[in-house]
Structure formats: C-alpha cells, structure tokens
C-alpha cells in the first residue's frame, strides 16, 4: 500500500476535500460532501443512485415526449474491455467518470467526450475464477476531491478526481478466499462503505466502513454469525439459534454485494444481504432454521456500525434468493398516513414495502409468477412456502420459479413520485433445482450443493424452444401502494438494462436486443429507440451542462445471464459485446461506426471416441467447475460475441495435451482460466474434454436436423 509515501500530500489535499470546500490546487475541482449529494439539483450525478435514497429519478425535463424524437448521439467512447459493462457513470464539475470491466476507471469531458485520464488497478487475471458473474464493476463513489473504487480482487482505492492518481489503497477482504468486489461504494459523512461477493464460493459476508481520508477501517458488520461463543455483537448472538450444524466451516454466505441506501434524518444505512453458502440448506444448516441474516434487508447505524433492525425476505433460503437487489427509499401515503418506507423487488419475485424507521412489514405482492410460495402472510411478513419447492427437505428435484438469476437481479429500478410508480426491469424465469447427493465443498468451482450437471439443458430442440417460450424479460410499472402492476412492456428475453426515470415523463432502458429505448412513463408506450449495436445491461443516467440535458449509458453485453444461461443466453440476439459509453443530447449528430462483419464459426468438433461413462463423468465435472463461466450444457452463446470462449468451438478439443496445458497447467491464468489441478485429476479434466466433444456433436446434429447452416453467425 502506498499510504506511508503519500500520507503528507494526501492529508494536505484531504483537509480541504473532506470539508466539502471550494477549489483545491491539486485537482482544480470542487469538493463533494453530504449536503451536495442530498441537494442533487439534477445537473450532476454524484452517487451511484444519484441521491442517497437511490430513486434514480432526475428532475431534469428538457428532454420529454414532445421532443424525444430529436434525441441523438452527442459522442461515444470505446472501452478496452470486451466483457460485461454494468456501471452507472458519475458526472461532477463537467466531467464524466465511469468504471469498466476488470475494475478500470476512465474520465472524459462530459460535453465533448475528450479523454482526460484513465486508471488501471491491474487486477490479476486469475481473480476472474472467483467471480460468479463476470468481471464486472458497477461504479464509483465521490467525496471531497476523490473518487473511490472497489476492485474485483477486493481492494478499495481512493483516486484524485482531477488526475486519476492513486491516493491510497486498502485490501478489504481475505484475498486467500474467493471474495470479490463488483458493487459501487457509497460515502457517508467521510466514511466509504463497501461490501463484497463470493457466497457461491464459501465465504462469510460482511460490509465495512473506511475513513475517506486514510483508508483506515472504522467498523465492520458481519451478516452471518461465527461459531456459537465466538460472537461478541448481540445481533450475532441472537442469530446463532437460527443456524444448525457447523455452518461456520463453509462460510455461510450472506455477502453484501450490491444494494445500499441511506436516510440522513434517521442516520440509518440499509444494506441488502445475499444468499446462503451453499444454496442447499440441507448442507449449509442441516436441520433448517431461518439462517439470519441471509436474504435480509438490514438497517445499520452508520456512525457506529451497530445493528438497528432487519427484515428477512426469504427465511432459510435455499434457491439463491438474495436480497441484494436495488433498495429505494420514499415517503408514501398509505391508509391516509405518510409513511417513510423502503422498497425492494428481490430475486424471490415479491415486491416489498417496509417501514424504514422500524423495519415493520407493511405489504408485499408478487410482481411476476412464483411457485416457491403462495404469497406473503400479511400478519407476519413471512412467505407461505410451497413444500414441494423445499428441495433441501424433500431431496427431490423441482422446477422453481423464479430461478436463481431472479425475477429481478442487480439491474437498478427507478421511482417516479409524481406518477407514484416503480419501474422494475424484471424477468420471468424458472430453474430445475436438483439436490446434489453426497456434496462436499471444493477449493474451486460453484459450491452450491445442487446438481449442476443433471439439470443441464438437453440436446432437444423441442425442450429448448419450450424453455425459451416460458422465459421472458419485462419492464413493469408497479404501484407500490396498491401493490399491483399498472403497465408492462414485454421484451425479447431476460437480462435487460437498469432504468432511469425523469421529470420529463420518460423512462429510459437499454435491452438485450441491442437497443436503448425511451418510454412514456405514464403508459409505457415506446417513444424512441437507438440501435446500440450491443446488449445494454447497465442503468442510464442524465445530467445538464450549460442548459443542455444529456443522457448517458454504458453499453456492453455480459454478466451472469450472458455467460451462464447457455442456449437461453442469446434469446434476444445473439448479441455481440461492443463496450462503449454512449452520450446523447437533443440534436446530437454523432454516428457509431458500422457494425463489424459477422463472425462465422464452424461447429466442426472431433468425432466422439470416449465411452459413455467417461462422458457422464465429464458432465459432472463440467457442471461443478465450468458451467458458471462457460455456460449451461457447454453452450456459451454470448461467447461468440467476445465475452468468454464457447468450448464447443475450441481448437483444443482435438488435443488432449493442449487441453491439459490449459486446464491442468493454468497456461491461460492471466485470462482468468486458472489451473484446476487442485480439484481434478488429469483423467477427470480429460473427461470434460470428451463431454464437450459429445455436446458439440449433439448440437451439430441438431442443426443438421433442423436444416440450419453448419456455421453460426453473430449479428
């Protein structure tokens, strides 16, 4: 860490910066403080969700239904990472700051697009194997004259906002374990708040606060208890009885990898807590229990890091039903009274309204079809579960809706208080949960306690088409008081972008079909669309400079659905990855380059020579160690667009030696493909090669049967 070397200069800078004062000689920028974030007049975008309440609603109204047809591209900037792009840019003092995949940072003049500086934290490539859901990053935080970045390998870094120079760097996690950081930090009263991910890989979740001036840890809040007798905090002692068995030996999960919101009047920080580790509660906590504080919204007294209250959306979760999805704060009139509420639409498919002062349950209703529960008990706030969905107890497979990628994932919602509507980027999905027999944790791979081989999509076009028909992406306008849908837009498939709402009566969203779209917020009518040439999963934002309103979005296809969902991953496409920052204004005349020529890749695998039992063994190993990156059933449809290689097309299939060099020897570790020698023998590694050969030949036969060409072209 460079702290000692930079201490003198950093403290001189921060004396002015952290006061929120005026200009500094070092950066020539004005300081950010809490009052400026709270004021948030709309001209700038100072925090991940614009304001601490995370409503993602802008008071700007220059762009509106009457002139949206004049909206055009002002400028664009190509990114240097062809992976998933999930960040929301910040705009401060006429400059736009954005993070990209692999935790890089770039700064531009917000009007002209002129590059100002960039920063590369040089995340080791082998860190990629620790990331469940692509090497993404969702954004920055600002305070004083600094920007704060969480890196994939678990560092929290402070940068000089004017130059991109690193001021300090602090390691926030045990880097020997499979922790990652992909979420955007928040800064409150000079404290930088950051969580982490890794619950699929056997870690114990927490969120922590660091001094913005020095990087010193101020407090740390664990979300699951340590072994009984080792917990000092009362809230952790209270949670012990909700766990069974020796849960502490396998981490427990509960990572705080995304959602946060803050109420300055109450002094409460709200965090969303993730799934259990492993998913299957029979292994995580044999004997059941609620497993506090998994899948919960937790309120923390921000000054001290003390527990205030919690509400658990999915007690004893076993389906990867995180509560890390977007949290928004609002004041709603309910039953004739104004209530200070917290709203969330987590993975489990229910929309929740909670009293944010006390944690009292107010209401909930499902916003998509669900079958794991029949509803939420309005007296207790607990779900009324479907016993058949409890695969951890029955030991039997069950197709559960929503699936593990959720009815709503990390993609931000937006709230329009005038329309009294929440706009949810939702999806309708299902997943065959099959409990794994005799499961044991591993050093690498998905530690979820489910059979991720036998639930792979079969080589049957009828089954695949039925699965596609049942899977949808939707944009839903939801009335949080009445707990009912007002309108919806059905899209080509799941994994569409986050949402922005504006006082101009517009809702902006990018989608997996490669378009950036504006809708009328009252009715959901599409008013405008721009061909982005790539899937858009990040959320848009808007800002104004010299009386001109701009709308910006980071485009680039990727993330969990894109790399793991196999044949379902390109329902809206196939869509290639072309990572760009797109900035729009009324009268914008810039043009994107022509689309690159389509890539034609022959599916021409070697002949299958292995016995059936070898292929079956390879399927088991693939499901445990490979699916999470290379796709369900060895189909990485989006990989043809430059995200992660589709192994069915790999030239190494014909060479057992080359395959071993990569998978056993770790020859491509700098690309994230580390050695798996610690968890698999060479024969097991080779069995995966034979499984992929088998899958490639099956799909080649399916194409021939359907009369499809032997070459697959990208759009």
Residues catalogued as catalytic: 320
Characterize the bridge pairing of strands 57-58 and 499-502. Answer: parallel
Cβ atoms 302, 340 nearer than 8 A: no
Sign of CA dihedral 557, 56, 65, 487: positive
Sign of CA dihedral 679, 683, 685, 691: negative
Distance of alpha carbon 424 from alpha carbon 426, whole angstroms: 6
Contacts of 589 (CB under 8 A, 6+ apart): 72, 73
List the one residue out of 221, 273, 228 whose CA is nearest residue 249: 228
Q: What contacts 24+ positions apart, CB below 8 Å, involve 360-364?
A: 361/311, 362/334, 363/334, 363/483, 364/483
Distance of alpha carbon 696 from alpha carbon 430, whole angstroms: 25
**Is residue 335 classed as helix, strand or coil in its secondary structure?**
coil
Contacts of 249 (CB under 8 A, 6+ apart): none
Contacts of 205 (CB under 8 A, 6+ apart): 195, 196, 199, 222, 223, 224, 252, 253, 254, 255, 256, 273, 274
Distance of alpha carbon 525 from alpha carbon 36, whole angstroms: 35
Distance of alpha carbon 132 from alpha carbon 197, whole angstroms: 8
Cβ atoms 299, 268 nearer than 8 A: yes
**Largest Cα span, the chain:** 73
List the one residue out of 313, 246, 317 whose CA is nearest residue 286: 246
Cβ atoms 266, 358 nearer than 8 A: no
Backbone angles phi, psi at 80, to 5 degrees: -105, 20
Cβ atoms 687, 617 nearer than 8 A: yes
H or E stretch including 338?
A: strand 337-344
Alpha helix segments (H runs only) across 18-145 = 34-39
Distance of alpha carbon 399 from alpha carbon 403, whole angstroms: 8
Q: Which regions of 525-628 does DSSP assign to beta strands (E)?
A: 526-531, 541-545, 548-555, 580-586, 600-602
Sign of CA dihedral 290, 293, 298, 299: positive
Cβ atoms 258, 205 nearer than 8 A: no
**Is residue 600 classed as helix, strand or coil in its secondary structure?**
strand
Distance of alpha carbon 632 from alpha carbon 566, whole angstroms: 4
Distance of alpha carbon 508 from alpha carbon 555, whole angstroms: 13
In the DSSP assignment, the letter for residue 235 is H
- CB burial of 54-92 (b: ≥16 within 10 Å; e: otherwise) equals bbbbbebebbbbeebeebebbbbbebebbbbbbbbbbbb
Distance of alpha carbon 701 from alpha carbon 694, whole angstroms: 11
Contacts of 78 (CB under 8 A, 6+ apart): 579, 580
H or E stretch including 312?
A: strand 306-312
CA distances from 584 to 3, 97, 344, 497, 542 (A): 40, 16, 30, 17, 9
């Amino acid at each position: 860490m460079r702290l000692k070397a930079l201490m003198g200069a950093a403290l001189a800078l921060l004396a002015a910066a952290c006061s929120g004062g005026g200009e500094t000689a070092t950066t020539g920028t004005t300081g950010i403080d809490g009052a400026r974030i709270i004021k948030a007049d709309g001209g700038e975008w100072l925090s991940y969700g614009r304001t601490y309440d995370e409503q993602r609603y802008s008071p700007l109204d220059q762009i509106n239904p009457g002139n949206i047809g004049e909206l055009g591209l002002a400028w664009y900037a190509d990114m240097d990472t062809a992976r998933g792009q999930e960040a929301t840019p910040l705009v401060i003092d006429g400059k736009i700051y954005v993070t990209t995949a692999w935790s890089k940072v770039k700064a531009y003049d917000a009007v002209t697009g002129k590059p100002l500086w960039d920063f590369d934290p040089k995340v080791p490539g082998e860190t990629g194997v620790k990331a469940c859901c692509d090497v993404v990053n969702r954004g920055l935080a600002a305070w004083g004259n600094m920007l704060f970045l969480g890196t994939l390998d678990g560092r929290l870094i402070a940068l000089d906002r004017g130059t991109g120079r690193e001021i300090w760097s602090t390691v926030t996690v045990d880097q020997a374990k499979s922790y990652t950081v992909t979420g955007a930090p928040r800064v409150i009263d000079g404290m930088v708040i950051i969580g982490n991910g890794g619950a699929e890989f056997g870690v114990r979740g927490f969120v922590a606060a660091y001094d913005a001036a020095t990087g010193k840890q101020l407090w740390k809040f664990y979300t699951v208890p340590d072994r009984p007798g080792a917990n000092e905090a009362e809230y952790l002692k209270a949670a012990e009885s909700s766990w069974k068995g020796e849960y502490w030996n396998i981490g427990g999960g509960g990572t705080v990898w995304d959602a946060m919101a803050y109420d300055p009047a109450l002094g409460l920080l709200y965090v969303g807590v993730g799934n259990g580790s492993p998913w299957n509660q029979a292994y995580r906590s044999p004997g059941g229990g609620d497993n506090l504080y998994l899948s919960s919204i937790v309120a923390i007294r921000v000054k001290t890091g003390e527990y205030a209250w919690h509400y658990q959306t999915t007690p004893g979760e076993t389906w990867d039903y995180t509560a890390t999805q977007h949290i928004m704060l609002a004041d709603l009139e309910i039953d004739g009274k104004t209530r200070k509420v917290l709203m969330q639409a987590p993975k489990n498919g229910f929309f929740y309204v909670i009293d944010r002062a006390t944690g009292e349950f107010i209401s909930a209703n499902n916003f998509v079809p669900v079958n794991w529960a029949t509803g939420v008990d309005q007296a207790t706030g607990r779900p009324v579960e479907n016993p058949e969905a409890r695969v951890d107890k029955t030991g039997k497979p069950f197709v559960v809706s929503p699936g593990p990628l959720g009815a709503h994932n990390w993609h931000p919602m937006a709230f329009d208080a005038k329309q009294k509507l929440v706009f949810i980027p939702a999806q309708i999905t299902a997943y065959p949960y099959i409990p794994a027999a005799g499961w044991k944790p591993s050093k690498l791979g998905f530690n979820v306690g489910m059979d991720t081989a036998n639930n792979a999509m079969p080589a049957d076009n009828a089954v695949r088409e039925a699965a596609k028909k049942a899977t949808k992406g939707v944009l839903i306008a939801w009335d949080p008081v009445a707990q009912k849908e007002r309108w919806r837009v059905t899209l080509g498939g799941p994994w569409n972008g986050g949402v922005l709402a504006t006082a101009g009566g517009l809702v902006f969203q990018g989608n997996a079909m490669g378009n950036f779209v504006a809708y009328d917020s009252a009715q959901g009518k599409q008013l405008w669309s721009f061909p982005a040439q790539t899937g858009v999963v990040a959320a848009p934002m808007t800002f104004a400079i010299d009386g001109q309103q701009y709308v910006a979005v980071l485009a680039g296809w990727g993330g969990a659905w894109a790399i793991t969902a196999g044949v379902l991953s390109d329902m809206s496409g196939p869509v290639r990855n072309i990572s760009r920052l797109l900035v729009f204004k009324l009268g914008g005349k810039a043009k994107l380059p022509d689309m690159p020529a389509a890539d034609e890749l022959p599916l021409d695998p070697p002949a299958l020579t292995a016995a059936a039992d070898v292929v079956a063994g390879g399927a088991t190993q693939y499901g445990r160690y490979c699916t999470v990156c290379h796709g369900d059933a060895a189909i990485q449809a989006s990989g043809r667009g430059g995200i992660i290689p589709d192994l069915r097309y790999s030239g190494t299939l014909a060479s057992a030696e080359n395959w071993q060099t990569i998978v056993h020897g770790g020859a491509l570790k700098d690309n994230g493909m580390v050695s798996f020698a610690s968890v698999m023998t060479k024969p097991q590694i080779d069995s995966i090669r034979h499984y992929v050969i088998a899958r490639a030949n099956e799909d080649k036969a399916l194409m021939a049967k359907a009369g499809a060409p032997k070459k697959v072209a990208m759009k």
